[in-house]
Amino acid sequence: MFFIATVFNSCGKDGGSEEVGFGEFNTHISLVGKPISIGDSIPAVIGSVAAIEGGYLFYTYVSDYLLLISDDEFNNFRQIIKKGNGPNELSQVSGTFGQELDDKSLLSVFDPNAIALYGFNPETPDSVSLYYEFPDNFRKYIPREVIKIKDGCYVAPREDRVYGMISFDSKTGTIEEWPVGYDFKDSQNPKEDIISKRLVAYCPENGMVAETYGCFPRIILHNEQGRVIKVLTYDNYKERVYSQGMLAECFMDMQMTSNHIWILYGDPHMDNQSRIFIVDYEGNGVAELGISPAHQFAIDRKKRRVIAVNPNEEETGIMVYRIPDSIEI
C-alpha cells in the first residue's frame, strides 16, 4: 500500500489561503441517461467532449481524424482535423479543446507534440490554422494541456515532474510559475503520484482558475494572477490502489460555471457508478449526481445537459443526462 503524506505550504504568490473541506450534500439524485449513437459509418471511440455554441466536439481514438463535430441534437456527426503532418492536419489534440479564442469565430485546439495552439471555425471546420506557437522557454515545462485566460495569457499544468502550473503572457513573453501549495510525498515510489491525471479549468465570469490531480482529492483555486485563494478538500476520500500498486484515480474531470465547480468522481475501472459533485466556491456541497461510469464530461448550460463519455464502452460511450431544474447551473 502507498502512504501519502500531505504538507500544506503557504500556497505561494504572495500570501496564504484557506483550506475548506466538503463532503456533505443535501441533494442526492441518480440521473438516467440516454445513449447516443454516432452511426456505423464512423469508426471511432469517443475519449472526451466539449460543449460549443450550437453543438458538441468529441475527441476520438482509433480514427484517422482527431475530432468529431455535431449539432446540439446529435445529428450530422462529422469527422474533422485529420491526424498527420500535412496541411490542415495535426499530430495530436489535448483534452482542452473548443475554447473561444480572441477571434470569437475561432475555437482552440492545442497540439501537445508541436506545443502550439491552433484555431478553426466550426462553420468551416475543414481548415485549421496556427494561432500561436509557444517559445522554447515554455516548452521545457512539457505542457500537455493549455487554456487561455485573460488578455492573451495562457495557463498549463506542469508536466516536468513538478506540482503546480505555469502561466505565459503572449504579449510580453513572460512565464510565471504558480506553486501548487502542497508537497505530495509517496514513501514507496515517489514518482508514481506525480504522473497522475492533472486537470485545469477556467471560469471567465469570475476569473477563477482551478487545478486538481486525479489521485488527490483537492481543488486548488487561483485568481488570474496565480495567487491561491482557497483549497477545497473532499473529506470522504478513501485511498485505493490497483492490483499493480498504482493509486486509483478519484477526480476524473472538472468543469466550472459562474457559481459552482462540478467534479466527476469515481474511477470507471473500479466503480459501477460515477458521481458528479457540485460545490460552490466557498466549499459548500450543493448536490451529488449519480451517472453511469464515465471518464470525462461537459456541461451544456443552454440545454441543461451533462454529456458524459466513457471510451471503455463497447458502443460509442456517449451518454446524455438532463440536469434537474432544482440544480442551479
Give the per-residue pLDDT at 183.
59
C-alpha cell at 148: 487561455
Grid cell in block for residue 37: 449513437
Locate 250 and state its grid cell.
478519484
Measuring CA to CA, which residue among 240, 288, 228 is closest to residue 260?
A: 288
Of 170, 169, 189, 187, the closest CA to residue 178 belongs to 169
Reported pTM? 0.89
Using CA atoms, how far apart are residues 58 and 98, in angstroms rounded to an integer?
9
Give the model confidence (pLDDT) of 230-248 as tens digits. Answer: 999 998 887 777 666 666 7
pLDDT at residue 149 is higher than 50: yes
Cα separation, 141 vs 220, whole angstroms:
20
Helix (H, G, I), strand (E, B) or coil at 103: coil
∠ CA(236), CA(319), CA(249), 5° rounding?
A: 30
> Residue 146's pLDDT is what?
94
What are the residues facing 35 on neighbouring strands? 319
Domains along the chain with CATH numbers: 4-322 (2.120.10.30)
Task: With cut-offs at 50, 70 and 90, classify the pLDDT of residue 320.
Answer: very high
